[in-house]
Structure 1
Amino acid sequence: MTTHSSADRRRRRSLTLRDAADQFRRHPSPWMVGGMLAVAVAARLAVGDWHLSDAVLPVVMLALFPFAEWVIHVCILHWKPRRVLGLTVDSLLARKHREHHVDPRDVPLVFIPWQTLTWLIPVLAGLSVLAFPRLGLGLTFLVTLSALGVVYEWTHYLIHSDYKPKSRFYRAIWRSHRHHHYKNEHYWFTVTTTGTADRLLGTAPDPESVEKSPTARSLHTVR
């Protein structure tokens, strides 16, 4: 038993990006988001009709994405169950995220729940067709959002895997999100960047100045 545990720890310490990618593609959510990206790219190329706005929109979305992450994390993932008209309002996303905080190393809980994607992907596809003045621009939106989704899923998975940061840029992102899980859940809400929305919105303090939260692993409970 001891030998097996030691070997397992060595494998964890030696996890490569290739190993991480092999594990990543074993889960349904990356395939679903990646599939949306592939279909969106094919549709966008087929439609054509390129305008300057097709170059501007991705830049704007990229700039706003950290703020979208922040809002989703704070308002949806950290939603505290509430009673409304006798019913408990508590989404699957919020429930799964609480489970994720309980055990940040449980890999399936790292990903966007596939059950959520089964309705979210059609909704996003519908928005891309109906909510834009041109179909081409709507598909540009869908391509960009899908690509950001893949980046989000990969980054979040990698942070919670045993892959050790090599670059300074990724190490900063890795450290920030680990602080959120293991230091204090009230700070460091962005996942794919650091020093962006959190800094502007006041949730990126000096970690040394922040006390360790007793509820970082059990959101909304008091010990």
Structure 2
Amino acid sequence: MSKLQEILEKHEEFAPIIQSAKPFKKLDFSASNQALTSRDLSETSVFSKFVFDEMLAGNTFAGIGGYGENRIIYRQRKHFNNEDEQPRSIHLGTDIWAEAGEPIYAPLNAKVHGFAFNNHYGDYGPTIILAHTLDNLTFCTLYGHLSLESLEDLFVGKSIAANEKFATIGCYPENGDWPTHLHFQIIGNIGDYKGDFPGVSSIQDQEHYLNLCPDPNLILRIAENC
């Protein structure tokens, strides 16, 4: 277990990132979900209808899940299948599937580390990365697929308090052209990245990246049996 994991496990003061009244339902985008294998979800409108109408029972639930998941849905997105590198399919964060406009709150005190509009089909779209310090250890959290409005009035070093609203979930296509959701990821060492960081790795690199990016539920604290 890494030092960051130990610190996150012992702290209990994290604010909810999304304060939805809807119950959470765990979603599966791996090959074990047989409903995915026969679907063409390359059109975002079709993908969105599948998620919210079918998987979330007519938007009755908020969706959750995906950390460490080997996702077959990335096979339909060129962003994850570059000919010059290994195909990427291992999801490094947790997705929270909710409607556009859903407020996002800081889980603990933070400063803006970076932000960007990663404007490529299948990418993060508007992205904010926050830096936090706990027990003298600094780490980052990444928030992807936000609204463009979330990037307004930001600057590197801006202070954001725990439980402060600082962003909203974006709509497609500005969110990277995905069904509306938040990609939330913990990053132990962000290196030289600013406003971006890999959210999906190749199978070959998964051990490295999963060690670098521990389970977001260390902060989210959402019941695993949801």
Normalization by structure 1: what TM-score? 0.25
More strand by share: 2
Normalization by structure 2: what TM-score? 0.24
Q: Which has the larger radius of gyration?
A: 1
